[in-house]
Amino acid sequence: MIGEAIAGYIGHRIDASDGEGGALGAAVGVVTWNVAKTVVPAAIVIGAAALGARYLSRKWQQVTA
């Protein structure tokens, strides 16, 4: 909840920097925060799995060679 408030505030400040203001920036900030909460951990897990597969592949090649 606090993260959404901070994201809304930052989005509002970005939107207000053009001189018009409005709530569009705040809404975009909140949506971006919600997407980032899902995508960033998933990217970390997928990256760790890829590195683990690469490590195991190299280890397997050393054992069989």
Q: What does the pLDDT look like over 16-52, one tens digit per residue?
A: 776 666 677 777 878 888 888 889 999 999 999 999 9
Query: Which of 61 and 27 is assigned the larger pLDDT?
Result: 61
Measure the CA angle with vertex 16, ends 15 and 17; round to 5°: 90
As for how many domains the chain has, the answer is: 1
Q: Are 32 and 25 in contact (CB under 8 A)?
A: no
Comparing C-alpha atoms, which of 42, 38, 62 is closest to residue 50?
42
pTM recorded for the entire structure: 0.56
Rounded distance between C-alpha atoms, residue 28 and residue 49, angstroms: 31
Q: Judge whether residue 65 has pLDDT over 70.
A: no
Q: Chain-centre distance of CA 1, in angstroms? A: 17
The domain of 60 spans 2-64
pLDDT of amino acid 8: 79
Q: What is the band of 3 on the pLDDT scale with cuts at 50, 70, 90?
A: confident
Q: How many CB atoms lie within 10 A of CB 3?
A: 12
